[in-house]
Chain A
Amino acid sequence: MQLPITPSQTIGPFLAIGLPWPDGPFVVPQGTPGAISISGRVTDGADQPLTDAMVETWQADPDGRFDHAGDPRGATGPRTPGFRGFGRCATDADGRYRIVTVRPGPLPTPDGGTEAPHIDVSVFARGLLDRVVTRIYFADEAAANAADPVLASIADPGRRATLIAGREPCGRPGEFRFDIRLQGSKETVFFDV
């Protein structure tokens, strides 16, 4: 049996009524050893902040495993207490979001390769009729990034660079910066997932 899929519609400007959770930004509980933060701004084609957007993240645990039936290696118990893999943060009046998590591990691919540590990101907003999907990689994983099949599928190094989170300028260790630009000369790479 094949059923036709339900179409997407915009999340609209009023998502704050129903979607933010008090613990949404915390992929791991506050105070988890080795926790990092990833923050940034979501901006439009006029370089203006999106103040009504929502950013969601999904990632493997530090061992590169998913406690999920879809991981054919078999689900594993959580080795990082309270790790849930998922984060959600609405943007603020400056278009900023912030997620607290732990670094994901590398992942095997079906053809025997390895994906560099990464986080899948969905962005929802008024004016986006479907979510847009991107990925966060880490600047200090240069060797792993060089071997990553998804990054390799993007020929232009300037575009590839939009997927790399660097240290937050003036930030402490473990504070990463990842801006999301929906349009413009530095438009973030978005994926057809």
Chain B
Amino acid sequence: MTANQHETAAGRLDIAAYQRPVGVHPPLASPEYRSTQLRAPKQKLVLLSHLLTEVTGPTHGSQPVTAADADLTKRHPGEPLGERIIVTGRVLDSGGRPVPDTLVEIWQANAAGRYAHHVDDHPAPLDPNFDGAGRCMTDSHGRYRFITIKPGAYPWGNHLNAWRPAHIHFSLFGQAFTQRLVTQMYFPGDPLFAQDPIFNSVPDPKARQRMIAAFDLDLTEPEWALGYRWDIVLRGREQTVFEEG
């Protein structure tokens, strides 16, 4: 046990804070993405110290997740249309430690760029063999793996001729409230990046690249599915210098 992880004889409670990802996430007020205009809070955020509620979090060890939940192509009697893909990678923290046994949830459009959701009125076909939702738990090395189909791009009303680059939504818990992350995974070489205000809401161009999966021939299974690799990095604990004893 390290010095910052126990309660001392004096009753002092030492809690390891998590890194604050300054400049990584998009600013909430990003006017080019129109929906932010009435939804992004206007007041300055209040700095919250990392106390007990923030350094703990749900682990979902009790959620019934089965291996079948990670294969989005086998949920119906027939195979979904589209390009079958394997999406895999590791969930790590910024200290390089794997995040094991954490729930990863995904959802996405079908190969035609249509979501199985009543609000999506894009005139593209629904696929009766694809609902677009999956989940898995990371293994002891922080690895996750999904089998799905490559989602299509789709139009949206943000600006004239606006199209979302193909993407898969990801939801991650990590091991603490501070680590919760909802993001989107994109595909390499998408010609739609330059006009997408959501992708470009991330201020640092290098950080944007971290949302793009890599095509990986080694993950590709011959005559069956293309492989993409995407590692996800959550906030780690702050580096602290502590003395034993």
What residues of chain A lie closer than 8 Å to B195, measured between beta carbons?
A: none
Q: Mark B169-200, 1 if CB is under 8 A from A, else 0.
A: 10100011110111110000000000000110
By the criterion of a CB under 8 Å from any partner CB, how many residues of chain B are at the interface?
Answer: 87
Task: State the CA gap A1–B19 with chains docked (Å).
Answer: 14
**Is A55 engaged at the interface, CB distance under 8 Å to the other chain?**
no
Q: Given the interface contacts A6-B181, A71-B52, A191-B47, does A18 sit within 8 Å of B106 by beta carbon?
A: yes
**Is B228 engaged at the interface, CB distance under 8 Å to the other chain?**
no
Q: Given the interface contacts A58-B58, A193-B48, does A183 sit within 8 Å of B182 by beta carbon?
A: no
What residues of chain A lie closer than 8 Å to B133, measured between beta carbons?
A: 17-18
Q: Mark A57-91, 1 if CB is under 8 A from B, else 0.
A: 01110000010111111000000000011100000
Are A6 and B43 in contact, with the CB atoms below 8 A?
no
Are B171 and A59 in contact, with the CB atoms below 8 A?
no
Are B62 and A8 in contact, with the CB atoms below 8 A?
no
Task: State the CA gap A21–B64 with chains docked (Å).
Answer: 11
Are A120 and B177 in contact, with the CB atoms below 8 A?
yes
Task: State the CA gap A149–B5 with chains docked (Å).
Answer: 22
Tell me the smallest distance from the CB of B15 to a CB of chain A, in Å. Answer: 6
Task: State the CA gap A52–B117 with chains docked (Å).
Answer: 11
Partner-binding segment picked from A30-38, A129-137, A139-147, A164-172: A129-137
B contact set with A: CB distance below 8 Å: 5-7, 11-15, 19-21, 24-28, 30, 33, 35-43, 45-60, 62-63, 92-96, 105-107, 115-117, 119-120, 131-135, 169, 171, 175-178, 180-184, 198-199, 201-202, 206-208, 210-211, 232-235
Secondary structure type dominating chain A contacts:
loop
Contact of A4 among B12, B42, B207 (CB under 8 A): B207
